[in-house]
Amino acid sequence: MSIFRVRSGPRTRCSRGFFSTFALAGFLFSAATAPTTAQQFDTESFTLANGLQVAVLPNHRTAAVTVMVWYKAGAADDPRGKSGIAHFLEHLMFKGTKSVPPGGFAAQIARNGGRDNAFTAEDYTAFYETVARDRLDMVLKLEADRMTGLVIDDDVLLPERKVILEERRMRIDNAPSALLTEQLTASLFLNASYHNPTIGWESEMHSLRTEDALAFYRRWYAPNNAVLVVAGDVTAAELRPMAERYFGPVPAREIPARLRLEEPPHHAALRMEMKSARAAQPSWRRYYLAPSHFSGDTQQAYPLEVLAEILGGGESSRLYRTLVLKQRLATSAGADYAPGALGPASFAVYAGARPGVAIADLEAAIDAELHGIVENGVTDEEVRRAESRMQSATIYARDSLSGPANIVGAALALGRTIDDVTQWPERIGKVTAAEIQAAARAVLVERNSATGILLPEHTS
């Protein structure tokens, strides 16, 4: 089970897959003239006069850098009736400016031996490149150019709209597990801003227009609504003149308040069953409404993280040991909780049935495990082992350029503080068995759940 996770969704520019980024703890930058430092990730930070937040994560083990530009706007900021516009704009950001022709951004990165891509999530959108250290200047120039200089017209937009519609067919409509997940999420969030899928509903995607993309771009894409993260063979002293040169002239813009709709009380559990000839085996999943670090009873976030580790954190977890190893009802089992959301979050439990096992038997065994935690709690030893695994995982987060850059960038985009980063291991270590049981009793409530069953459909 990874640490510092955020809610995941369809991502990446060309073949948007489903993958978890690190859920994060972050930091809040001030406009102080001297950079602050986060020792956990050796982070130096400063803010430009136009409001652009900049984080530098020096790592001199290789002569390369990863550059990330995060915008504080995502799918949850899509206007009503325009679902998918944040993701669509992510694609269009590669279509050129007055100085860079369509496709020229990626081509220039590739010619210089680099890699680039992007992803859209509910609460932010990020663009990233990894290049040799001596190509950093080039990348910063390109990113600053498209921050407010994007050129979009119907000739550019209409062919790309076909691309995102095909992407939806490939990633969602033709993938029964993804389609069920989409339906479950929409059922769980009746009114909250996470009701709509990141990629958008197909009926609304067909109607996305040039003026819709430009309106979203002009509303949210500005230096004072962005975070620049550079990780690798560079220091803040080296980066600052380059950031000033390329991003400094980009004017700030008035940014509207971000709206996150509240979820009304739920009075009935939701349940759905889906059959598909594409499903290889039966599977079961359940989502519970849960607080996040920003919404609901936020004090439950850390206990729920530890609970997810105890329930579903690998082969030593309760669900895996019980369902896979002991009772042999499942081929896989786990739990997931991502507290990094500006609105409400979800706590998930899932399992894949072993051939010949009835879904009802699998569900009964899972319910017994959940009921046992609600009624009897977890042991102090389970808490100790889970916390130790989670704290140890923070060490491995530093081993790459992209890992820390993701952690820091998402943290800033979400508005976390530096203390949340540096104190995460300590806060996790202070969670008690009693706090976990209290959080389980508050969250694992039937009326606040949505259960989905995926079954193979055999055709003659």
Q: Give pLDDT, residue 183.
A: 97
Domain pair 10-246 / 270-400+419-456, same fold = yes
Q: Give pLDDT, residue 223.
A: 98
Task: Return d(Cα 88, Cα 68) in angstroms, integer.
Answer: 19
Reduced to 3 states, what is the DSSP secondary structure of residue 69? Answer: strand
Would you say 317 and 311 are in contact if contact means Cβ atoms under 8 Å apart?
yes
Structure tokens at 404: 């820390």
Q: Give pLDDT, residue 212.
A: 98
Structure tokens at 269: 């559990």
Judging by beta carbons within 10 Å of its beta carbon (0-12, 13-18, 19+), is residue 429 exposed, middle or buried? middle
From 44, 90, 182, 382, the catalytic residue: 90
Superfamily of the domain at 270-400+419-456: Metalloenzyme, LuxS/M16 peptidase-like (3.30.830.10)
Q: Give pLDDT, residue 459.
A: 52
Q: Give pLDDT, residue 41.
A: 62
* Helices and strands in the chain: count of H runs, count of E runs: 16, 14
* Each residue's pLDDT expressed in tens, for the chain with a length of 460 residues: 233 344 433 333 443 332 233 333 332 222 223 333 344 567 889 999 999 999 999 999 999 999 999 999 999 999 999 999 999 999 999 999 999 999 999 999 999 999 999 999 999 999 999 999 999 999 999 999 999 999 999 999 999 999 999 999 999 999 999 999 999 999 999 999 999 999 999 999 999 999 999 999 999 999 999 999 999 999 999 999 999 999 999 999 999 999 999 999 999 999 999 999 999 999 999 999 999 999 999 999 999 999 999 999 999 999 999 999 999 999 999 999 999 999 999 999 999 999 999 999 999 999 999 999 999 999 999 999 999 999 988 777 777 888 889 988 998 999 986 667 778 889 999 999 999 999 999 999 999 999 999 999 975 4
User: What would you report as the CA-atom Rg of the chain, rounded to the nearest whole angstrom?
Assistant: 22
Task: Return d(Cα 110, Cα 183) in angstroms, integer.
Answer: 38
Would you say 344 and 304 are in contact if contact means Cβ atoms under 8 Å apart?
no
Q: HSE of 264 in the Cβ direction (CA atoms, 13 Å)?
A: 5
Name the nearest CA neighbour of 231 among 450, 30, 460, 70.
Answer: 70
Q: Where are the chain's structural domains? A: 10-246, 270-400+419-456
Structure tokens at 271: 């349940």
Name the nearest CA neighbour of 121 among 74, 84, 82.
Answer: 74
Q: Which three-class secondary structure string do you get for 33-50?
A: CCCEEEHHHCEEEEECCC
Q: What is the DSSP string of 13-24?
A: SSS-EE------
Task: Return d(Cα 410, Cα 420) in angstroms, integer.
Answer: 12
Is 90 a catalytic site residue?
Answer: yes
Q: Give the full edge-to-edge strand order of the sheet including 36-38.
A: 36-38, 43-47, 53-58, 226-232, 64-71, 125-132, 115-120
Backbone angles phi, psi at 103, to 5 degrees: 85, -10
Give helix 104-111 / helix 136-148 axis angle, nearest 10°. Answer: 170
Task: Return d(Cα 94, Cα 157) in angstroms, integer.
Answer: 11
Q: Does the domain made of 10-246 have the CATH classification 3.30.830.10?
A: yes
Name the nearest CA neighbour of 283 among 177, 171, 365.
Answer: 177
Name the nearest CA neighbour of 170 among 92, 126, 115, 162.
Answer: 162
